[in-house]
């Protein structure tokens, strides 16, 4: 993984080099989310960033960043999606990807 200036993306996986680039403009918490997403592309051997692959990478990241036990505790504490997302430190997109992957 290399953190550097990127013009148009927060992160990018280059399968031909086995390398992940992360934008240096992101805060550490956001870099963590983007890195997990890009690792998903690498682990799933995605050759490109088709919408199907983006969805799969989001689900991969969500499964790796969200602990089921912690989520269950949060649902008991407060069933509000925005508060749960904030407590987990993930984006709404990743949270919803996690929920969809668990329903499948």
What pLDDT does residue 6 have? 93
| Parallel, antiparallel or unpaired: strands 19-23 and 11-14 | antiparallel
What pLDDT does residue 60 have? 96
Q: In this structure, are residues 13 and 44 in contact, taking their beta carbons and an 8 Å threshold?
A: no
Q: Which position has the token pair 């949060």?
A: 74
CATH of the domain at 88: 3.30.2010
The parent domain of residue 19 ranges over: 2-103
Separation between Cα atoms, residue 56 and residue 72, nearest integer Å: 23
Whole-number average pLDDT of the chain = 94
Radius of gyration, alpha carbons of the chain: 14
pLDDT higher than threshold 90 for residue 42: yes
The number of domains in the chain is: 1
| Parallel, antiparallel or unpaired: strands 2-4 and 19-23 | parallel
94: closest CA among 48, 60, 45?
Answer: 60
Crossing angle between the packed helical segments 51-65 and 92-103, to the nearest 10 degrees: 90
> Which of the two residues, 103 and 92, has the higher pLDDT score?
92
Six token digits for residue 69: 């036990």
């Amino acid at each position: 993984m290399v953190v550097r200036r990127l013009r148009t993306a927060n992160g990018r996986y280059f399968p031909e080099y086995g390398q992940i680039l992360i934008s240096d403009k992101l805060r550490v918490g956001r870099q963590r989310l983007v890195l997990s997403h890009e690792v998903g592309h690498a682990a799933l051997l995605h050759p490109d960033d088709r919408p199907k692959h983006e969805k799969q990478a989001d689900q991969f990241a969500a499964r790796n960043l969200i602990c089921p036990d912690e989520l269950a505790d949060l649902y008991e504490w407060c069933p509000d999606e925005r508060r749960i997302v904030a407590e987990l430190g993930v984006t709404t997109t990743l949270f919803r990807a996690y929920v969809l992957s668990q329903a499948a």
